Amino acid sequence: MNDPSPPDPNATIAYQLREPVRPSRAEARGGRSWSARAGQPDLARRAVLERSRGRLVMAAAGFGLLFGAVGLKATIATVIDPREPRRPVQRVAQSASPAETATGRAPITDRNGEILAVSLPVTALYANPRQIDDPADVARRLARVLPQLDASRLVGRLTGDRQFSYLARALTPREKQAVNDLGVAGLHFEESERRYYPQGRAAVHVLGNVDVDGAGLSGMERYHDERLRARAHDPLRTSIDIRVQLALRDAVAKAIDDYTGIGGAGVVLDINTGEIMAMVSLPDYDAGDIGAATPEQRFNRVTVGTYEPGSTFKLLTAAAALDFGTANVNTSSFNAASPIRYGRFTISDYKGKGRWLTFPEVLAYSSNLGAAHMAQGFGPQRQREFMGRMGMLSRIGVEITETALPLVPPANGWRDINMMTISFGHGISVTPLHVVTGVSAIANGGILRTPTLLAQPPGTQRPGTRVLTERTSETMRRLMRLVVTDGSGKGADVPGYFVGGKTGTAQKTGPRGGYLPNKRIAAFVGAFPMNAPRYAIYVMVDEPNPNARSHGYATAGWVAAPAAGSVISRIAPVLGLVPENPQEPTILQSVGIPLQPGRPTPRPGATAAAPAPAPGRGTPPAPARTTPAIAPRPATPTPVPNAPTLAPPTPLRVTEVETMWEQAVNRIRFSMAAQAATLTGTAEAATLRNAAALDRADEVR
Whole-angstrom Cα distance, residue 400 to residue 219? 5
Per domain, the residue ranges of the chain are 96-236, 247-689
Task: Indicate if the pLDDT at residue 599 is higher than 60.
Answer: no
Report the pLDDT value the prediction gives residue 20, as an integer from 0 to 100.
Answer: 52
3-state secondary structure of 213: coil
Question: Which pLDDT band, with edges at 50, 70 and 90, does 515 fall under?
Answer: confident
Backbone angles phi, psi at 521, to 5 degrees: -115, 125
pTM of the predicted model, to two decimals? 0.71
Binned at pLDDT 50, 70 and 90, residue 352 comes out as: confident
Q: Read off the DSSP letter of residue 539.
A: E
Work out whether strand 340-342 and strand 333-335 pair parallel, antiparallel, or are unpaired.
unpaired
Report the candidate in 510, 503, 508, 502 with the shortest Cα–Cα distance to residue 521: 508
At residue 493, the pLDDT reads 96
Q: Which residues are known catalytic residues?
A: 311
Contact 136, 229 (CB under 8 A): no
Instruction: Read off the pLDDT of each residue in 565-573 and give the average, rounded to a whole number.
Output: 97
Mean pLDDT value across residues 42-60: 82
Within 10 angstroms of residue 592's Cβ, the number of other Cβ atoms is 14
- Which CATH architecture does the domain made up of 96-236 adopt? Alpha-Beta Complex (3.90)
pLDDT at 8: 56
- The CA radius of gyration of the chain, in Å to the nearest whole number, is 43
The answer on pLDDT for 627 being more than 90 is no
Q: How would residue 7 be classed by pLDDT, with cut points 50, 70 and 90?
A: low
Q: What pLDDT score does 83 carry?
A: 59
DSSP 78: I
Q: What is the mean pLDDT of residues 341-364?
A: 88
End-to-end CA distance of the chain: 150
pLDDT in the model for residue 661: 44
pLDDT at 75: 83
Angstrom distance (rounded) from CA 540 to CA 535: 17
Split at pLDDT 50, 70, 90, the class of 600 is: very low
Q: Which of 243-257, 292-306, 355-369, 509-523 has the lowest mean pLDDT?
A: 509-523
pLDDT > 70 in the chain, percent: 76
Please compute the mean of the pLDDT values over residues 514-522 and round it to a whole number: 88
Counts of helices then strands in the chain (DSSP H, E): 23, 16
Q: Report d(CA 495, CA 503) in Å as an integer.
A: 19
Residue 634 DSSP symbol = P
> Which pLDDT value is given to residue 540?
97
Each residue of 202-211: pLDDT tens digit? 999 999 999 9
Is there a common fold for 96-236 and 247-689?
no
Higher pLDDT, 457 or 46: 457
pLDDT digits (tens, 9 = 90+) for 476-506: 999 999 999 999 999 999 999 999 999 999 9
Condensed to tens digits (0 to 9), the pLDDT of residues 143-155 reads 999 998 888 888 8
Task: Measure the CA angle with vertex 445, ends 440 and 449; round to 5°.
Answer: 45
Other CB atoms within 10 Å distance of the CB of residue 371: 31
CATH of domain 247-689: 3.40.710.10
pLDDT at 649 over 70: no
